[in-house]
Structure 1
Amino acid sequence: MKLIAVDMDGTLLNHWKEISEENIQAIKKAQSMGIEVVIATGRAYFDAKKICEKAGLNLHIISDNGALIHTKDGEQISSITMEKKDVQRIITELEEQNFYYEIFAERGIYSTYNRKNALEEEAKDCTDNLKFEMIQTAIAIQFGQNGHKLLENNEAILDAEEKFYSVFALTFDEERLRDGMKHFAQMEHLSMISSANNNFELANKLTSKGNALEKLSRMLNISLDHTVAIGDSYNDISMFEKANLSVAMGNAHNDIKALCDTVTLTNDENGVAYIVNQIINKDILHQIQFSNISLA
């Protein structure tokens, strides 16, 4: 294998949102053997980059669910944007339906104080202790993203002279989520992506991890026949379909596991390191066998 694409949340990151030392060493070992390792995440580029830097990793990054591609040198080689009028319509209607939302843009991840308050109200109204903890965790994750900015109103977001990549919607109300997804599915010129059972994201129709993986592989002159994709959720399906080998995390949904060629350990069990080391060892074995055949 010549390229390994790795999702972040639920895959490379453990539940503390950190990259374990085992995963770091496995990635560095793969790189030392000439294998390109690529982050493929729904996170914003500057957020993913910061996490990688903290772990001492220098990787190509597919971010914003495929809207952006950056080389490990930080060069932006692909950008797929949304029309401002679409962003305006989406956030207006999300506000009417009382969703929390974020706009992923060129210089930040934007939301409003009003939407933050709406999400916190969901937590206050929750009587289920387990669900309450889930909401509190989600709030901490969303507001802890690098580049996250709260503004006074929608106009402050839309007046910014920058590129828009996607709109992320979050709610823990199952009926609201279902109705919202049904409503926005009517915007057929956009794609709808989900990374968990409490959210969806709207982006340009061409935006997907799979399309970005294909584009980056072509730029690196690597055939998709020599690629691996590792992930845990629905927004990873497009790259599972493009890669030669698809790997589901042990913590992935059963329907995601069923789509993949193999399943590794969970994200808290260093599942990325486990499968990367398996791939490396098989490649080494293949090289030894090929060398022996050639010498004979």
Structure 2
Amino acid sequence: MSRIKLIALDLDGTLLNEDSQVSEENRKAIAEARSQGVTVIVATGREVQTAKPYWQELNLESPMVTVNGSEVWKSSGELYMRQRLNVETVRALHKIAVDEDCWFYGYTTEGMIDGDNWSRTTPESQWLKFCYSSENRNQLERVRAKAEEVGLFEITNSHPSNIELNPSGISKASGIREVCDLLALSMEEVMAVGDSLNDKAMLLEAGIGVAMGNAQDEVKQLVNAVTGSNREDGVAQAIRRYVLEADK
């Protein structure tokens, strides 16, 4: 019998295909796992507003981990935990973006903020994540070095061309640990599936960490299991191999 009781799925590049849709095969595998008593959750870098439609589409009633772990939701409308970046810290990170002429964006509890609507921010804004984006690798390295001088962060990415900063100690893994506490499970009973560096912590801490076939090379090297790409229903392959077939 499979020891996996909880499946944690990244969204972009993992559960979602290139058209940001959940394939029929992925949908079927998730439904079958749930029918066998396995809890399926979303663990994403997205904010809850843009993650919620997929949660609803799959008829999930489980918790959600959003904004790389800065928020954990008992359900789509019931917040369980939230960790914030200091407003002064965000201002310092914003100054780096301006000085380096680097595109930036981030998430507050009100939604996404970027270079086009920065004026909407206030001293009361509750920041959950701050990000930089550039196709210039040298620029990203300079920006990262300057950001590290500002303070301690969890620094990851959801694509090789961006940098994502969350409060120190906050990751998808920390969010999943909170979910495990809610459900009286251990991390050994979790299978996590992802493709980017913001999935690294959960892939390493889960009982089974599975990298997508389209995952960044660094991510693939961290895990013992690699599934098909998000164009090949890689999530469904992983669920069937490591959860459903393990029961037989």
Partners of 1:74 and 1:279 in 2: how far apart? 31
Within the candidate set 213, 234, 240, 1:271 is matched to 234
SS at match of 2:121: helix
Residue number in structure 2 paired with 1:229: 192
Partners of 1:96 and 1:35 in 2: how far apart? 48
Residue number in structure 1 paired with 2:89: 86
Q: Which residues in structure 2 correspond to 1:253-292 (within 5 Å)?
A: 253-285=216-248
What stretches of structure 2 of length at least 5 have no aligned partner? none
Partners of 2:77 and 2:32 in 1: how far apart? 21
State the shift of 1:254 in Å: 2.6
Residue number in structure 2 paired with 1:158: 122
Q: Which has the greater radius of gyration?
A: 1
Q: Calculate percent identity across the aligned residue pairs.
A: 27
What is the root-mean-square deviation of aligned Cα atoms in Å?
1.6
What stretches of structure 1 of length at least 5 have no aligned partner? 114-150, 286-296
SS at match of 1:12: coil
1:68 aligns with 2:71: yes
Q: Which residues in structure 2 correspond to 1:1-296 (within 5 Å)?
A: 1-72=4-75, 74-113=77-116, 151=117, 154-159=118-123, 161-285=124-248
Partners of 1:29 and 1:238 in 2: how far apart? 27
Q: TM-score, normalised by structure 1?
A: 0.78
State the shift of 1:59 in Å: 4.0
SS at match of 1:186: helix
> Against the structure 1 CA distance between its residues 51 and 282, is the aligned structure 2 distance closer, same or farther, given a 3 Å change threshold?
closer
Letter in 2 for 1:26: A
Partners of 1:162 and 1:255 in 2: how far apart? 34
Contact 2:93–2:150, Cα closer than 8 Å, also in 1:
no
Q: Which moved more, 1:189-198 or 1:268-277?
A: 189-198
Q: Which moved more, 1:208-217 or 1:265-274?
A: 208-217
Q: TM-score, normalised by structure 2?
A: 0.93
Following TM superposition, where does structure 1 have runs of at least 4 consecutive aligned residues deviating by more than 3 angstroms?
54-59
1:126-155 deviation per Cα after TM superposition (whole angstroms, max 9, x unaligned)? xxxxxxxxxxxxxxxxxxxxxxxxx2xx34
